Structure 1
């Protein structure tokens, strides 16, 4: 590869990182901003109700998209110039909507039962808008997976939950200024979420149409496409891969949905609000990893597909080092000034300080190991990553039950920290064993212990 080509590629990656960093930062701040608005309107108890409603939305979304957003990222990312990419997208949308609408209806129908089950006053009201948002939410995530595959990671970031929360928070903030008596209802939080999900889905659909109009295959009816139909991914293979990704995603379902629901069942709404606030601030620490995960995985797939293991290793290490450097200042602020950080949410959140410290340290480990999960997923080891994630998150659910029963909200933070650290360190081990790649900044502990990577098949 010539020096000029290398410089051009580096420049392209830097520009993509800058754009995606900005987009992801906006989305992360939007998600945090929604918590701030709800916290100031309804206090920790209102944030606890929002946490439960969001967990229902996330759970419905994960079940409906069934890993197809990641399958899109993988197969579209292998050859984004092929006209076949729209076939993959159409497969994913049809399959996802067959699940999304029934799930949304069921959630709407059972909202009163869920409010009673979790003893969370106002949850049924909020779930009206949230349940209707499910199909639009799912469509946005499919668009996100597609745009990641075609190397438009900044656009992809604005199709996900952070952007929806950004719009929802903005809608509620405007309501606070002009119609405070209406915006103070939890019912309006759900409707704000619905409106935001519709806006994001419409915006993404428009951007997809504009992208298609620029493609050679669109302008010339797929003439001159470099990939023949015989080389395209078969429909069966696409859904087999998506199911493998879904199994790995189910681990996220356990961590972000079942764990929050378990916490909501064992904790009062105010304590759940403290936990969720700390978790959301922790996500701000980890947002650089979300940026990296929006850009690097399609490149991982391409480098591995072309047999460029040195390039794959360099890119993986670059992502981990970048994540650790960017996350460290935020971690230090959370460790030494947690009360100041929590004060942005209004009064009553100071009790979350020890929770925030615990989660901040765990997120530092999460970021510093880099994209180990996507390294396995994008190199044909998605089943291995699925098993790692399922095992660690199953143990984590047990930790949630035991530690919350013993320590309350602090126990919830400790259980979340356990899941983050355990899953990433186990994945780091297998990235070294299967791919011979060490991502964690610092000396290779596994090599020092005499553990060698297995020969590549």
Structure 2
């Protein structure tokens, strides 16, 4: 078969409205955005790491990790809930309720943001330790990002549920990293890049992404979907009840990735935080393919599960994990075997002694994560978020205990080992639950 015929065959598979064609189009679109977003994000990280130095970059990374943790109920938790509910409403043809769902979520974001901002401000003002490298001032500066992150998550959830995966990802995967890079670059060119201006850049990029996302959502939602009436109280209570396990689930998931940085910021130094952040960037590269897969298949898992088609669920599981492994394997091998060279060239020699081993550990952990496949997505999008929570909590407990033991002795290396342990534990538990609940065996074989 000639190269031209192979290309034409692949292009032909993306045509039409079939499941395979939709998945291929979505995967290709999101994959392309990820491939654009990743170098932009890494370039910004490199600029911050090189120009702020290990201490300043550690401060910046710690504050971003804190704000990511604080916004768990408003951003990633609402994102998953809104995606599932929007997909179900769209599948049922109840388009008008999608707008009501959006209003319900936006109100929760505004109220929750105000609570977080007030509580954090009171806590920072009353703290007696204002000399801890400027961390508390940076935390106050980044608070305006809280509502922006939450509102962006609602927008992404609705667009993803409507199967407009690509347009939903444009603000976060293209607009935000471009804006962050441009603003950070401007501060660097002016010679005023500090942890404070770095945090300001983060807030500004979130604001720009929100504006673009707002415009895209208004264009995507048809005018006849707008209903003025509010959700019934029973519907609101049902959503709130579902929101709680989603929040717990995402909290466990987010903390599984952030626990190393948070414990390092508490028990170790800013330099060790910086080393862990660099290692986490490497892990993100390895897990990129799985991230793409999860974003694309979520709405289809909900639809196919409700249709009771176990064979199609199994087909999606197998094909998605094989695709993810195909991309993840060479990246993991490169980071494990050439980590010292990569860190020195990209981030600078000052990070080599503290970052090589954590990078290799997290690359291995994320490769294992990819090999298990989209176990969390299958459970969550099938209505078994409580089972997903069980696995995530199991991993979080393991990584938290290990972090408290290993971080004081081994710094970033200990934190990386703890995160790797948690990753393996929660994937194992979720794989068992997928087999029990859905009746399919996850993995590539």
Q: Given the two structures, how large is their TM-score scaled by the length of structure 2? A: 0.89
Per-residue CA deviations over 1:208-248 (Å, capped at 9, x if unaligned) read 11112xx3734xx67xxxxxx99999222222222111111
What SS does structure 2 have at the residue aligned with 1:440?
Answer: coil
Note the C-alpha offset of 1:27. 3.1
Q: 1:363 to 1:258 in 2, by over 3 A?
A: closer
Matches within 5 A, 1:387-402: 387-402=390-405
Superposition deviation, residue 294 in structure 1: 1.0
- Measured at CA, do residues 120 and 34 of structure 1 come closer, stay the same or move farther in structure 2, by a change above 3 Å? farther
Distance 1:5 1:186 in 2: 48
Q: 1:176 to 1:4 in 2, by over 3 A?
A: closer
Q: Distance in 1 between matches of 2:34 and 2:233?
A: 32
C-alpha distance in structure 2 between counterparts of 1:115 and 1:303, whole Å: 55
Q: Structure 1 residues 111, 154: closer, same or farther in 2, change over 3 A?
A: farther
The alpha-carbon deviation at position 408 of structure 1 amounts to: 2.0
1:411 maps to which residue?
A: 414
| Aligned partner of residue 71 in structure 2, secondary structure | helix
- Give the count of matched residue pairs: 426
The 2-side partners of 1:164 and 1:115 are apart by 35
Return the alpha-carbon distance in structure 2 between the equivalents of residues 68 and 23 of structure 1: 22
For each residue in 1:105-143, what CA deviation from the matched residue of structure 2 results, as whole angstroms up to 9, or x when unmatched? Answer: 4334544677938x7413234334311111111111121
Instruction: Tell me: CA distance 1:137–1:39, structure 2 relative to 1, closer, same or farther (3 Å).
Output: same
Give the Cα separation in 1 of the matches to 2:352 and 2:260: 23
Residue 67 (1) aligns with residue 77 (2): yes
When normalised by structure 1's length, the TM-score is 0.86
- Contact 1:289–1:371 (8 Å) recurs in 2: yes
Cα pair distance change 1:233/1:154, threshold 3 Å: farther
Cα gap change, 1:120 to 1:332, in 2 (>3 Å): farther
Matches within 5 A, 1:421-432: 421-432=424-435
CA contact (8 A) 2:14 2:20 kept: no
2:163 pairs, out of 138, 147, 151, with: 151
Q: 1:31 to 1:125 in 2, by over 3 A?
A: farther
Q: Distance in 1 between matches of 2:129 and 2:259?
A: 17
User: Do the aligned partners of residues 166 and 111 (structure 1) sit closer, same or farther apart at CA in structure 2, a change above 3 Å counting?
Assistant: farther
Of 349, 355, 358, the match for 1:355: 358
- Alignment match of 1:195 (pick from 204, 207, 210): 204
Residue 95 (1) aligns with residue 114 (2): no
Residues 27-60 of structure 1 show CA distances to partners (whole Å, capped at 9, x for unaligned) of 3333323321111111122221122111121022
Which consecutive residues of structure 1, in runs of 5 or more, have no partner in the other structure?
223-228, 443-457
Q: Which moved more, 1:378-387 or 1:199-208?
A: 378-387
Aligned pairs for 1:117-136 (under 5 A) are: 120-136=132-148
Preserved CA contact (<8 Å) 1:126 1:186: yes
> Any gaps of 5 or more consecutive residues in structure 2?
1-12
Q: How has the CA–CA distance of structure 1 residues 47 and 155 changed in structure 2, closer, same or farther, with 3 Å as cutoff?
A: farther
Matched, 1:271 2:272: yes
Report Cα offsets for 1:283-302 as digits up to 9, x if no partner. 12111111111111111000
Which residue pairs with 2:28 in the alignment?
Answer: 18
The correspondence of residues 27-46 of structure 1 with structure 2, limited to 5 A, is 27-46=37-56
Note the C-alpha offset of 1:357.
0.7
Q: Are 2:292 and 1:285 aligned?
A: no
Q: What is the CA–CA distance in structure 2 between the aligned matches of 1:267 and 1:85, rounded to whole Å?
A: 46
Contact 1:266 1:405 in 2 (8 A): yes
Task: Give me the whole-angstrom Cα distance separating, in 1, the residues matched to 2:43 and 2:437.
Answer: 41
Alignment of 1:55 with 2:65, yes or no, is: yes
Moved more, 353-362 or 341-350: 341-350
Residue 449 of structure 1: aligned partner: none
Which runs of 4 or more aligned residues in structure 1 lie more than 6 Å from their structure 2 counterparts after TM superposition? 3-7, 112-115, 229-233
CA contact 1:286–1:366 (8 Å) conserved in 2: yes
Which residue does the alignment assign to 1:238? 239
Go from structure 1 to structure 2 and tell me whether the alpha carbon gap of 1:306 and 1:115 turns closer, same or farther (over 3 Å shift): farther
Q: Is the 8 A contact 1:288 1:323 kept in 2?
A: yes
